[in-house]
Structure 1
């Protein structure tokens, strides 16, 4: 992609990055192309568009003044459990919302791990298919999530947010 687009822009043509899953460069590999454009002195113009990360945070009711995005958590059980506990501590100590995502076919596993490793009073937002026809956004304490049937998240783009 970089090899094809950058020379065209250098010749005076407009170029752009579109993403099917949010904003290019945010949880998306578009950052490498933008970095190359900056390296070559090309003008970079961001355009306003929906970002499932920010929309999830906006709808979560969790702290939008202090937040961090962590991308993907580890896949292996022990490192994932450690990461979940670390993010929960960060949320509590810093009063900071913690956002992360997962490959859609592993959402159910991540959701189960969150319920297994988070404290009952920690708030968890599950934001699935944001802006899509099946949009589901709900924030509850983990103790409440444990009493409910798990939401259907298999193969559905989902953002997870934990906070206090």
Structure 2
């Protein structure tokens, strides 16, 4: 299990390079992408495509080669194998059949982002990619509203604004977050602020919607103010789906004791964001 660079090829360790040079076969997500890494190392090795769409058919063949005494390196397009990438079926089956599985540690986008984000790292929860639709994302974030650990997600540029909108709607405008973009690459960027601020900044700057992202969100605070804000956001989201905006904000204020004008502004911002999302095409 060989971790490979997430951007800067100089991050490949000497041990990883030696392993890639010595194995009989390299299983990888995209042979064209991995060939560029091997070219950088000056290696000509046989490659086997191993990805989400062929994993069920491919891992038994790889397992047979391992049982026959061959050595195989599993790599992903970037970072550590199995972290939001295929490989679980192969590793579990190999261990079950007594095949040695050896980790060769190295780059990982989530650990890279966490180390430099300035958010608590003593407890964190990695959740891969958030759901693809707004309704599913909102339910997803609602379930995480009380999680005390730092939340980490991968996200694409096309869905980043929508994910920020849904996370702030369910977790609250003031929840602190960090967007880590294009890690180890030329245009590496860290944006820090509240979910509300980050949503506004990224929405207004198309450059910050390009590339690959790690989104980190501060865990739930223990204060009454934070709990109040989450409850306001949850109720406002429900009512806005059933009532006119002004009425939804007024009723939320009556239920929670929150300020009606502030809730009305939050509802208008939510409404504009959803309108923009409807006009866009998300994969």
Fold-level similarity (TM above 0.5): yes
State the secondary structure of the residue aligned to 2:144: helix
TM-score (structure 1 length as normaliser): 0.84
Q: How far, CA to CA, are the matches of 1:39 and 1:72 in structure 2?
A: 29
2:136 pairs, out of 73, 79, 90, with 79
Gaps of 5+ in 1: none
In terms of fraction of residues, the more helix-rich structure is: 2
CA contact (8 A) 2:114 2:121 kept: yes
Match of 2:161 among 91, 108, 133: 108
Q: Match of 1:54?
A: 111
Partner of residue 159, structure 1: 214
SS of 1:102's equivalent in the other structure is strand
**2:202–2:209 Cα contact (<8 Å) kept:** no
Q: Where does residue 3 of structure 1 map in the other structure?
A: 60
* Distance of aligned partners of 1:149 and 1:129 in 2 relative to their CA distance in 1, 3 Å threshold: closer
The match for 2:90 among 24, 33, 41 is 33
Q: Which is further off, 30-39 or 143-152?
A: 143-152
- 2:101 aligns with 44
Query: How big is the alpha-carbon RMSD for the aligned residues of Structure 1 and Structure 2?
Result: 2.1
Unaligned runs of 5+ in 2: 1-57, 220-283
Higher relative contact order structure (alpha carbons within 8 Å, sequence separation ≥ 6): 1
CA contact (8 A) 2:145 2:170 kept: no
Secondary structure of the structure 1 residue equivalent to 2:167: helix
Residue correspondence of structure 1 range 107-146 to structure 2 within 5 A: 107-146=160-199
1:63 aligns with 2:149: no
Q: Residues 70-121 of structure 1, C-alpha deviation per residue, up to 9 Å, x if partnerless?
A: 122222222211222332321xxx2x10111234532332233334443232
The separation in 2 between residues aligned to 1:25 and 1:15, in whole angstroms, is 15
Question: Matched residue pairs, number?
Answer: 159
Instruction: Return the TM-score normalized by structure 2.
Output: 0.51
Stretch deviating more after TM superposition (80-89 or 21-30): 80-89
Equivalent pair of 1:88/1:163 in contact (CA under 8 Å):
no
